[in-house]
Amino acid sequence: MNMKRLILLFIALAPSITFAQFDESWNLPGYTPIAEIVILDQLENTEGIKKTGDIFSKAKGVFSISAINTIQNRAMEKLKTEASLRGASHLYIKNFNPENSVFSKTASYSASTYRQEGEINFTKARDFLKDNQLQIELSRKYNRNAWKVIDQIQSKPVQRIKVEDIQEKGGRVLVKIFTSENQAILCEVIGLSDTRILLTTETRGNEEFELLGLGIRDKNVNIIQNRQ
């Protein structure tokens, strides 16, 4: 196999390898991986879970050469991906609109997102955030329109988090983090263990979302000064 083919093979395999590593390494309590999102058959099945929002997805085919089932599956995968990145554990499908004609093949879903109540303990999350020097170790970005999921390993320190930057609102744990470049990012805590935390944030309106995995920094590394 020549070098060009090796490079193309690496590019093709890298996203799926990273994707699997993310779900294995960052499957923290409170976070639901894409493959484990539950589809609710009836609204009566929402006992013990709380509505967190509404989302939609759409997938298109190329005229008659695209199988409608493939398009529907892609639209569902997009829906589950956004639900997972936004901290949901369950979906209730409100509308499903397929179009299967010679000239147009599309499938779209609209759904409400739900998550288990009390999954994230505010006191535990607050103490973890304020008591540790943290760094961003991995990010997962998803663009609803472009249908792209990009996983990236990082080692990006954040400034010491102040207690006033952490709050509980409507059952959600919100935190404002500041990067070393003093960039402020408003996030929601959706996963938490004793050594790691998962945060979700919107990076471009209601179109692009990012999941940030933060871990505890090595104490031997120079600590970023607190904001004045």
Give the pLDDT confidence of 114-156 residue by residue, as tens digits: 998 888 999 999 999 999 999 999 999 998 887 778 888 888 8
| Between residues 10 and 19, the one the model is more confident about | 19
**Predicted local confidence at residue 19, as pLDDT:** 53
The structure's pTM equals 0.82
Q: What is the pLDDT of residue 15?
A: 42
Q: Which amino acid is at 21?
A: Q
Angle at the Cα of 167 from the Cα atoms of 179 and 199, rounded to 5 degrees: 45
CATH superfamily of 25-116: Hypothetical protein apc22750. Chain B (3.30.110.70)
| % of the chain exceeding 90 in pLDDT | 54
Determine the Cα–Cα distance for residues 57 and 166; give it in Å rounded to an integer.
31
Read off the pLDDT of residues 69-111 as tens digits, 9 standing for 90 and up.
889 999 999 999 999 999 999 999 999 999 887 778 899 999 9
> Which DSSP symbol is given to 144?
T
Q: pLDDT, tens digit, for every residue of 54-73? A: 999 999 886 666 788 889 99
